[in-house]
């Protein structure tokens, strides 16, 4: 479809605005990279995702505004829009966004630390109170072990005595049997 000069001018301004929006969307990825560590393979996946989204949006824009006709000045307009955005607002947007996100992170970390204070105090109290209990338990355990060991030793002594008595009886019986055989 043939566009008038004013239609082409509006299309050019629209593609400049679309390039501006594409630049802003890319800044979202850049902000995410600055606020959270990303591995190189994840950055590559993000870039592929961005360019896929940008291509689909530009195609949709061109389909709606220019009936799907791709014109050179439209591509140049999108590129100019991105360059304008990256050279004008991008540094400010990134700086403010990173500062806001870091502030929110710090607030959340502070709240979590404040919430954890009573839990840490409770854990310390439990440790302090548990030390005497453990000491007593070890003492009872040691006493129980010594009693157990003592009773074990007594049992062994009793067994030895029984075995010795049985041997003495057997020997006496053998002596008595030998005397009977001799007489």
pLDDT confidence of residue 138 = 66
How far is Cα 112 from Cα 97, in angstroms, rounded to an integer?
A: 22
Do 73 and 18 form a contact (C-beta atoms < 8 A)? Answer: no
Q: Helix, strand, or coil here: 7? A: helix
Read off the pLDDT of residues 79-100 as tens digits, 9 standing for 90 and up.
999 999 999 999 999 999 999 9
More confident residue, 83 or 64: 83
The answer, yes or no, to whether residue 171 has pLDDT greater than 90, is no
Q: Considering the entire predicted model, what is its pTM?
A: 0.59
pLDDT confidence of residue 139 = 60
Which residue matches tokens 């949709």?
60
The answer, yes or no, to whether residue 104 has pLDDT greater than 90, is yes
Q: What is the DSSP letter of 71?
A: -
- Count Cβ atoms below 10 Å from residue 29 Cβ, excluding itself: 16
The answer, yes or no, to whether residue 141 has pLDDT greater than 60, is no
What distance lies between CA 181 and its chain's CA centroid? 91
Q: Poorest-confidence range of 6-10, 17-21, 90-94, 95-99? A: 6-10
The tokens for 20 are 């501006």
The answer, yes or no, to whether residue 63 has pLDDT greater than 90, is no
């Amino acid at each position: 479809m043939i566009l008038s000069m004013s239609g082409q001018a509006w299309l050019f301004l629209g593609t400049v605005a679309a390039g501006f929006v594409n630049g802003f969307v890319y800044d979202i990825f850049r902000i995410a990279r600055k606020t959270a560590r990303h591995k190189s393979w994840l950055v590559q996946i993000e870039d592929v995702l961005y360019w896929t989204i940008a291509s689909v949006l530009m195609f949709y824009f061109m389909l709606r505004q220019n009936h799907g006709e791709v014109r050179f000045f439209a591509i140049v307009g999108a590129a100019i829009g991105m360059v304008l955005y990256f050279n004008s607002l991008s540094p400010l947007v990134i700086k403010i966004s990173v500062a806001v996100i870091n502030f929110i992170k710090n607030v959340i970390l502070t709240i979590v630390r404040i919430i954890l204070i009573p839990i840490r105090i409770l854990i310390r109290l439990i440790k302090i109170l548990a030390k005497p209990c453990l000491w007593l338990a070890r003492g009872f355990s040691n006493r129980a072990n010594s009693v157990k060991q003592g009773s074990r030793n007594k049992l062994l002594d009793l067994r030895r005595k029984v075995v010795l008595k049985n041997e003495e009886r057997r020997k006496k019986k053998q002596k008595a049997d030998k005397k009977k055989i001799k007489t």
